[in-house]
Amino acid sequence: TLTDEVNSLGQGSRHTPEPVLTGDDELFLLERAILTKHSDLITSEDRLRAFIDSLTDPAFLLSTDGAIFLANKAAVSKAGMPTQGITGKKISDLPGFSGILDSGKLDQVIKSKKGIQFEETSGGRSLFVSAHPVIDQAGGVEQIVFLTGDLTERRRTETALMRATKKISVLDSLILKDIQNQLFVLTGYQKLALDKAGDPGMQAFLKKGDDAA
């Protein structure tokens, strides 16, 4: 009976059955321990899923060959296919993610056992990608956490800001030159008026105007 219960749990069931053994022997205690751990595992998985699905940008858990093991709701929505249809596919095969990943990036994470960050263009959109290894008990890379963020609007804003800044700089330069030219003319007239003015009081006024210019 206990073996049948354990086998049913190993089939991926998310339901923890009620205990069937009675008494206080080792088998009874073992059944309780197994069912408790199974319930705890389901709770832990639910918390992990809730956390992943709370991310507003697509997130994936990949195998070392780039196949999708897990995808959050944002990734499912962007790909436009059901969760079951995504599992097992290569991330680069999904609509909206074509060309986002080459084998070199995964190899880099696997060999270095360190996370990497890079930008990629996919379908005319700029994406920020962050890849992090999941290390197993033997110290090898078991899976890879793959996070993406859409930078398209940010890049458009940055480009527009750069263009606007350049235009302002040009306009500022033109205005400065125009002011300098007008001041040069004004100063010239001030000096001519100062030379021709015979009244000392008028000269004082013109001198102050020249200093102000």
Beta strand 141-150 with 125-135 is: antiparallel
Task: Output the pLDDT for position 99.
Answer: 64
Task: Output the pLDDT for position 135.
Answer: 92
User: In sequence order, what are the beta bridge partners of 67?
Assistant: 90
Task: Output the pLDDT for position 98.
Answer: 65
Positions of E strands within the chain? 59-62, 68-71, 116-122, 125-135, 141-150
Q: How far apart are CA 168 and CA 90, in angstroms?
A: 47
Residue of 65, 62, 64, 63 lying closest to 75 (CA atoms): 62
Task: Output the pLDDT for position 133.
Answer: 92
Task: Output the pLDDT for position 9.
Answer: 76
Count the Cβ atoms, other than its own, within 10 Å of residue 200: 7
Positions of the chain with pLDDT under 50 = none
Q: Do 30 and 21 contact (CB within 8 A), yes or no? A: no
Reported pTM: 0.59
Q: How far apart are CA 75 and CA 94, in angstroms?
A: 10
